Structure 1
Amino acid sequence: MITTTAIESTAELTEQERAQAARLEAVWREPTGFWGWFKAVHHTTIGKRYAVTAFGFFLLAGLLAGGMRLQLAFPEAHILSNDLYNQFFTMHGSTMMFLFAVPMMFEAMSVYLVPLMVGTRNIAFPRLNAYSYYLYLFGGLMFYVAFACNTGADRGWFSYVPLAGPDYGPGKRPDFWAQLITFTEVSGLAVAVETIVTVFKLRAPGMSLNRIPIFVWGQVVVAFMVIFSLPGVVLSSTMLLMDRTCNTQFFNPAAGGDVLLYQHLFWWFGHPEVYIIFIPGAAIISTIVTSFSRRHVFGYLVLVLSLVATGFMAFGLWVHHMFATGIPQIAESYFTAASMVIAIPTGAQVFCWIATIATGKVVLKTPMWWAIGFFFVFIMGGMTGMFVASVPVDLQVHDTYFVVAHFHYVLIGGAVFPLFGAITYWFPKVTGRMLNETLGQLTFWLFFIGFNITFFPMHLVGIRGMPRRVYTYQPNMGWTTLNQVESLGYVLLFLAVCVLLVNVSRSLRSGAIAGPNPWNAGTLEWATSSPPPQYNFLHLPTVNGREALWDAAPNQPIVAGLPDDARSFLITRTLDAEPEGRDEFPGPTIWPFLAAVATSIAFIGSIFTPWGITIGAIPVAITMIGWFWPERQPAQRRRAREIWQSE
């Protein structure tokens, strides 16, 4: 039976609690050694792997951007050939969108933080979680191995047809891009399902829907967006691959296909993708502003409804990427209006943040500086978004560097600034060490100044007519000085990231000990030690308010009654988080890794022959049988619970 008891007031663990902690440690311990690495399934382990891998891809994409900026710093330069430049900008964009932004802002953050913030010991479906990570990792490795073999994608991160079709895209370059989409989107869909189930069924007692942290609400909204949007791009990329390998004619107008069908399917995903990246960033800003304003956030309900409204409205904007394709004027009018209306919920969030800061006692630490930088950069990107949402203006600046400037202000402002704030904010929780404050602020100012020097001149050079995706230009075009300023800004961005890496490396070795809650924050992840133990919480907590730690009663109840000889977890009701039952998480196993290997073989094999999926399904089926084969002890315990409940 699930009961609640009062929290012990003493800061030290009693003898009984130390014994309980030792039992939990033994039960939840991750396997060690070489093979143990592949068996891990705990959310903190997988979350850290997601974050490190995604940041590694971010660094690779940044180096590719440096190569492009070096090429464009001078007219008629020959540092990169036309072919190699096409691979650079395609690999850069695809990496940022598919291998960094969504995996970092949604998958890594959800996997690591959501279970801690809702007060449970692991994420729902932990083996599926491990499988999703390996699939993401193998997809990224495939993409870059192909690039190293001079088979890197070269048709843009969107891979439009007919440019990427069989007639104009010979070789296997578009095929590797198409299967990268399959890898990353299947991974994202798995994490979306895990996040939704974790939040709605594994929350701490007392965490009713109106007490869920805003960050968690943001991840839930994104999870639903992923489920509804990602199948569109998986479908379009699969149809593209079939056109190229199976001689289908989905996008061949001569055989009854439709080129614009590809764009509709792609942008049905592609524009919600922007908000899949931005909504976690906005939720991070709400969390940071609350903690460093030392007060409950102003307008909690407004912020939550704004996130939900943004998620809904994001699916009604995709055609504003297609204004130059000759769509009917009535459609242009609708999508122009929708593109402007979506600014309303974002504006509401900005006003709530300003009100929280204005009425709080602000502490200007490094995470708060990143939040302030986010305000400036993202609002600037939103203002230029009003321009490109207007059909006459869009037709003039379409496919120029004005659009490049706009979406970098939106995506870097909406994702990278909040992400770097999140790194400095949650680094103590993940590592138990504090980042150096001086180096942290140096990173911020180098990045903030370098970003604006890099991307603001792109508005100007775009208005002067410089098109996107060109690898060189003539000296008499009047673009040289602005391009050199942009390249100088890239140097500052590069230095900022280097300082961040030095700060992280130095702090991991000798940073100040963080303690459980160095920021005096109010959410549940700070209720346990830093870094958290494998079982997350010695006693599962209960919640008495929106900021669980700030609103806790002097003798706040805790959950008791869960056995500590198994990976037990509490199931709660969706609406009010009342205890509903208990179950047991599956333990570590190598089967998710083997299933990911088998799936990867099938996906990569399909690049070369349609039989790849058919033949590859056999090892996938074998590994799935091993994955779901019942284990004796958990099955016996589950059977015993069922008998107990029936009595």
Structure 2
Amino acid sequence: MSATPPLPNKLPRPPGELEALKRAWKTPTGWRYLTTVNNTNIGRLYLGTALLFFLLAGVLALLMRLQLAVPNNTLLSASTYNQVFTMHGTVMMFLFAIPVVEAFAVYLLPNMLGARDLPFPRLSAYAFWAYAIGGLAFFCTLFFGLAPDGGWFMYPPLTGKQYSPGLGADFWLLGIGFIEISAIAGAIELIVGILFTRAPGMTLRKMPVFAWSMLVVGAMIVFAFPAVIAGTALLELERAYDWPFFIAERGGDPLLWQHLFWFFGHPEVYIIFLPAAGMVSTMLPSIAGTPLVGRGAVVASLLATGVISFALWAHHMFTAGLGLFSASLVSAASMLVAIPASVQVFAWIATLWRGAVRWSAPALFMLGFLCIFVLGGLTGVMVAVLPFDWQVHDTYFIVAHLHYVLIGGMLFPVFAGMYYWLPLLNGHRMSEPLARWVFGLMFGGFNLAFFPMHVTGLLGMPRRVYTYTSAMGWDGLNMASTIGAFVFAAGVLLFTVDMVRTLRKPERDKGNPWSAATLEWLPSEDYGTRSIPNVTSDDPLWEQPSLPEEVERGAHWLPGTATGLRETIITTADDARPWYVQVLPGDSWWPFVAAAGTAGFFLLLTVKMTVPAWLCGVAAVVAVVAWLWQTDKPPPLAMAQAAEGVSLPVGSAGRAWHSWWATIIMLVVDGAIFASFAFAYLHLSMKLEVCPPPGAVMAEPFWPALSAGLLLAGSGLMALASGAVRQPGGKQRGLRWLVAGALACMVGSFCCELLGQPLAPTRDAWSAAVAVIVAYQGLHVLLLMLVGPYLIARSAHRHLTPSSRATMDNCVLVWHYTTLQGLAAAFALHAAPAWMN
């Protein structure tokens, strides 16, 4: 591993180097723009789509406020109102709040970290197109009477087949589960990118706070989102196949859904807030003209918030009958989480106090954020107190608290960010005089709309009612809230008009209009910066004033393209030392086709169009296989000149390879989904007086023992196959037989599990929980039935070599994980019942 050389380089750059760099990174035009994978292009598309969903959800909110403006209103029927408020909450939470922060990250982080792109550009493209296609199709259900009407939280039994017999709930379950998979793909990309593609010298201590916030959020997504994916799968299995997980009369438990949903849902509040806080911590030093006060404490508070948030999942379940002890622990955690948030607030106030603030549009929106979020935090502490929560739960007080936290804690920083970073798009700032009107309308309208809801809730107005009588005394407060909502909407409309006007201006040099310290303000093109900067300080553009000129003339790392392809430098995770040069995949149709096929599979399956759905599924699988086949190829060069007198390897293998770590993270997600299914099984088992319930048949010990033996044998054969690839001139023919033998062992193990575990998932909830664990293991076996032939095909084409074995290393990880999951499933199904009794 090379030490960082003295930079900048002094020698003039060879002729044609910059032109070759531009050729490699050229953005496709016309209809071929759909093939783009460059982070700047995908980030723009992401931002535009997220803002579109924000506007659409805002229109739904205005319809709700019109309905509630006066008593006994008949503008919307009860069923239509239920669909509108369900879609408003769903679109805001799932299609705007989380995607918009991921969009900022995809667009900003590579340049902010000094990288040419994120490490898996095609994965970013797939995640975006899956989100855009699936989200737009889901929203269109409103126009066909197929929208869900059970609330954005979809509590059973209301959303079970008995009370929601249409397809609306199915669209929510399959659509949202699919969109969450897209969010997880984006999180994996961001985690690996933040850890391994930072500019040389940018240690973790020097990393921008926004990057820290996205790293914490990526880890939170990895652990939180699998729970809602598992929950949506269980509820859809109940609705489609009568597996009664949540039907109390058949041994199910509606509270199981709440546990799974809120294990995702309450950390999600901080998944939304932390990126916004990171944006504020990045923008505020530029606006105040001074470094962030307490930077280390702010980063520590981000980490603490991420950890504590997982202890808060029952914060929304105080009235669900959890028991006083459990509720008290969650109540304490709900108060504790206010401490790290307060650390950040004090750091921001101290930065404003120490600096000389320029009262620009970003400064106004950040000040509005501080005021609104602090008020939301105070009401959050109030509802953490059990007796108070029991009084206001499911009233409009909670609606007010939710919007103060989410709009104050996320939307105002996002608007500040759009004013702050919009010059990166075409070099123009938005109008400052109009920005003051926008802020005034949004800040005033927001408080007029939502502050009265605190009083309305204390007066007893319940959530989700579509009308009320004048005798309740809520008339004036609801009219004020409706007027406030339209004032707020006027501010959003004025902002949209000004943004469109600004983006229509001819492009010019972006410069550094805020005199910012972070690297995204370096001169950049499609390829990012002309050379990857060498970072030596926390605030590089302040402490290295010649950096823009040096980077632009190619005086730093990787000034050209050594291979003629797209490249970036992979650095070590802790101290950011140059490790190797990564060749990045270029533009391709495959991510778009894979995303469209995946969306088509889920959506068509929902409307029972089975044959077209499976055709879309096959198309998605073929696209993914073609995409992976193109990506993992032997490197065109063994070594590449990364700077004057410094050569780095092109590509790597094993644990040094970034895709190995991405596979590890993916398997953590996989394990969290399995753990959610196992939790459901144990939760339902503990509700039984006798486990297994009467009528259930337990397997003889022979079958699970044989299944476990075959699992271990298969993993052993794959370890031998991996060793054969690592040897120079390894026996490829023997490798193919080893892979085939390992696959036979895995299939045989699953057959033994089926023979040894009689399945009757429609009989009762416990049997359904057993069946879902077995089925999940079967899904992995099916995956390996694709992986095995794929490995054999790559071996036949001589693509598995000691220098190009990432496919083998990653597939071996998946294989070993499937073995561990199978052993854990066998223990849970065959040993746990005996232990419980």
Of residues 402, 407, 431, the one that matches 1:407 is: 402
AA of the residue aligned to 1:540: I
Of residues 423, 426, 451, the one that matches 2:421 is: 426
Write the distance in 2 (CA, Å) between the matches of 1:366 and 1:305: 29
Of residues 168, 187, 190, the one that matches 1:192 is: 187
Of residues 526, 534, 548, the one that matches 1:534 is: 526
Q: Is the 8 A contact 1:567 1:585 kept in 2?
A: yes
Write the distance in 2 (CA, Å) between the matches of 1:572 and 1:283: 23
1:183 shift after superposition? 2.2
Q: Is the 8 A contact 2:319 2:393 kept in 1?
A: yes
- Residue aligning to 1:571: 570
Q: Is the 8 A contact 1:436 1:511 kept in 2?
A: no
- Residue aligning to 1:369: 364
Percent identity of equivalent pairs: 42
Q: Is the 8 A contact 2:309 2:337 kept in 1?
A: yes
**Quick check: 348-357 or 600-609, which moved more?**
600-609
1:469 shift after superposition? 0.4
**Quick check: 360-369 or 226-235, which moved more?**
360-369
Of residues 28, 32, 38, the one that matches 1:31 is: 28
Decide whether aligned partners of structure 1 residues 221 and 627 sit closer, same or farther in structure 2, where only a CA change above 3 A counts: same
Q: Is the 8 A contact 2:290 2:351 kept in 1?
A: yes
1:311-359 Cα offsets, whole Å, 9 max, x none, are 0011000111001111110011101110000000010111111111111
Write the distance in 2 (CA, Å) between the matches of 1:427 and 1:351: 28
Q: Is the 8 A contact 1:5 1:558 kept in 2?
A: no
Decide whether aligned partners of structure 1 residues 638 and 235 sit closer, same or farther in structure 2, where only a CA change above 3 A counts: farther
Q: Is the 8 A contact 1:245 1:607 kept in 2?
A: no
- Residue aligning to 2:77: 81
- Residue aligning to 2:461: 466
Q: Is the 8 A contact 2:21 2:561 kept in 1?
A: no
Of residues 331, 334, 343, the one that matches 1:339 is: 334
1:415-471 Cα offsets, whole Å, 9 max, x none, are 100000000000001222111111112111110000000000000111111111011
**Quick check: 595-604 or 375-384, which moved more?**
595-604
Matches within 5 A, 1:570-589: 570-589=569-588
Q: Secondary structure at the match of 1:630?
A: helix
Q: Is the 8 A contact 2:175 2:603 kept in 1?
A: no
Write the distance in 1 (CA, Å) between the matches of 2:487 and 2:313: 34
- Residue aligning to 1:236: 231
- Residue aligning to 1:59: 55
Of residues 500, 507, 519, the one that matches 1:524 is: 519
1:79 shift after superposition? 0.5
Write the distance in 2 (CA, Å) between the matches of 1:321 and 1:308: 23
- Asked if 1:476 is matched to 2:471, the reply is yes
Write the distance in 1 (CA, Å) between the matches of 2:139 and 2:93: 15
1:146-172 Cα offsets, whole Å, 9 max, x none, are 111011111000000000011111110
- Residue aligning to 1:22: 19
Q: Secondary structure at the match of 2:630?
A: coil
Matches within 5 A, 1:220-299: 220-299=215-294
TM normalised by structure 2 equals 0.73
- Residue aligning to 1:620: 620
- Residue aligning to 2:535: 543
- Residue aligning to 1:454: 449
Decide whether aligned partners of structure 1 residues 643 and 131 sit closer, same or farther in structure 2, where only a CA change above 3 A counts: closer
Of residues 198, 207, 232, the one that matches 1:203 is: 198
Q: Is the 8 A contact 1:434 1:512 kept in 2?
A: no
Q: Is the 8 A contact 2:246 2:256 kept in 1?
A: yes
Q: Secondary structure at the match of 1:637?
A: coil
Q: Is the 8 A contact 1:4 1:560 kept in 2?
A: no
1:562 shift after superposition? 5.6
Write the distance in 2 (CA, Å) between the matches of 1:276 and 1:347: 17
Matches within 5 A, 1:495-510: 495-510=490-505
Write the distance in 2 (CA, Å) between the matches of 1:386 and 1:398: 14
Write the distance in 1 (CA, Å) between the matches of 2:506 and 2:444: 27
Write the distance in 2 (CA, Å) between the matches of 1:561 and 1:409: 47
Q: Whose relative contact order is higher, 1 or 2, with alpha carbons under 8 Å and at least 6 apart?
A: 1
Of residues 385, 389, 403, the one that matches 1:394 is: 389
- Residue aligning to 2:97: 101
Decide whether aligned partners of structure 1 residues 523 and 164 sit closer, same or farther in structure 2, where only a CA change above 3 A counts: same
Q: Secondary structure at the match of 1:108?
A: helix
1:36-60 Cα offsets, whole Å, 9 max, x none, are 1221000010111110000000000
1:608 shift after superposition? 3.9
- Residue aligning to 1:594: 593
TM normalised by structure 1 equals 0.94
AA of the residue aligned to 2:622: I
**Quick check: 281-290 or 54-63, which moved more?**
281-290
1:219-257 Cα offsets, whole Å, 9 max, x none, are 110000000000001111111111111111111122221
1:614 shift after superposition? 6.5
Write the distance in 1 (CA, Å) between the matches of 2:80 and 2:374: 34
Q: Is the 8 A contact 2:582 2:651 kept in 1?
A: no
- Residue aligning to 1:558: 556
1:643 shift after superposition? 9.6
AA of the residue aligned to 2:29: T
Q: Is the 8 A contact 1:69 1:486 kept in 2?
A: yes
AA of the residue aligned to 1:22: E
- Asked if 1:630 is matched to 2:633, the reply is no
1:595-637 Cα offsets, whole Å, 9 max, x none, are 11211122123324596776654322211221122379x6461
Decide whether aligned partners of structure 1 residues 569 and 467 sit closer, same or farther in structure 2, where only a CA change above 3 A counts: same
Write the distance in 1 (CA, Å) between the matches of 2:142 and 2:650: 57
Write the distance in 2 (CA, Å) between the matches of 1:365 and 1:569: 36
AA of the residue aligned to 2:556: I
Write the distance in 1 (CA, Å) between the matches of 2:509 and 2:495: 18
Write the distance in 2 (CA, Å) between the matches of 1:7 and 1:542: 8
Structure 2 stretches lacking a partner, 5+ long: 641-648, 653-801, 804-837
Decide whether aligned partners of structure 1 residues 462 and 561 sit closer, same or farther in structure 2, where only a CA change above 3 A counts: closer
Write the distance in 2 (CA, Å) between the matches of 1:398 and 1:321: 8
Write the distance in 2 (CA, Å) between the matches of 1:104 and 1:123: 17
**Quick check: 250-259 or 315-324, which moved more?**
250-259
Matches within 5 A, 1:52-201: 52-105=48-101, 107-201=102-196
Write the distance in 2 (CA, Å) between the matches of 1:607 and 1:260: 25
1:48-102 Cα offsets, whole Å, 9 max, x none, are 1110000000000000000010011110010001110001100000000000000
Decide whether aligned partners of structure 1 residues 616 and 19 sit closer, same or farther in structure 2, where only a CA change above 3 A counts: closer
Q: Is the 8 A contact 1:323 1:395 kept in 2?
A: yes
1:533 shift after superposition? 0.9
Write the distance in 2 (CA, Å) between the matches of 1:132 and 1:17: 38
1:24 shift after superposition? 1.2
**Quick check: 96-105 or 143-152, which moved more?**
143-152
Q: Is the 8 A contact 1:76 1:474 kept in 2?
A: yes
1:467-521 Cα offsets, whole Å, 9 max, x none, are 1101100011100000111111011111101110121122123489563211100
In our comparison, the structure showing a higher alpha carbon Rg is: 2
AA of the residue aligned to 1:88: V
AA of the residue aligned to 1:364: W
AA of the residue aligned to 1:236: G
Structure 1 stretches lacking a partner, 5+ long: none
Q: How many corresponding residue pairs? A: 637
Write the distance in 1 (CA, Å) between the matches of 2:486 and 2:529: 44
1:106-135 Cα offsets, whole Å, 9 max, x none, are x10111111111000111210111000111
Q: Secondary structure at the match of 1:323?
A: coil
Write the distance in 2 (CA, Å) between the matches of 1:508 and 1:379: 33
Write the distance in 2 (CA, Å) between the matches of 1:343 and 1:228: 21
- Asked if 1:315 is matched to 2:314, the reply is no
Write the distance in 2 (CA, Å) between the matches of 1:285 and 1:32: 35
Write the distance in 1 (CA, Å) between the matches of 2:327 and 2:395: 20
